[in-house]
Amino acid sequence: MFRTHTSVPSTVSPVHPDWTINDVMAWVADDDARCHDEALRPVLSALAGLRQPQPGLRPTSTVALVREVAAHLRREPASGDIRVRDLLGQGVR
């Protein structure tokens, strides 16, 4: 199982915790402006953290984070079914 130490309060993100990673990426793809939305940075950073982090190679923009998550999903398609709440450690409420 993938783990991350990133936590995102549900009040600052437009992403619903019940969405899967595939849902998030489809939602971002529906509107190009979402690729540039800084409010998505914490969630995208957590999603990008699915792979083993490599020091010094962290993306600095939301666009780069979206690309990193998309690349991860191409390598490991099954991870797209992980729910945001599980990834962020929020559990079911």
Structural domain spans, the chain = 21-87
Q: What kind and span of H or E run contains 42?
A: helix 41-48
Q: Find, among 47, 82, 84, the residue nearest to 62 by Cα.
A: 47
Q: In the chain, what percentage of residues exceed pLDDT 70?
A: 72
d(CA 91, CA 18): 10
Residue 11 confidence (pLDDT) = 45
pLDDT reading at 80 higher than 80: yes
Q: Find, among 64, 9, 17, the residue nearest to 39 by Cα.
A: 9
pLDDT bracket for residue 31 (50, 70, 90): very high
Cβ within 8 Å of residue 43, ≥6 positions away = 8, 13, 15, 24, 84, 88
Mean pLDDT across the stretch 23-50?
Answer: 89
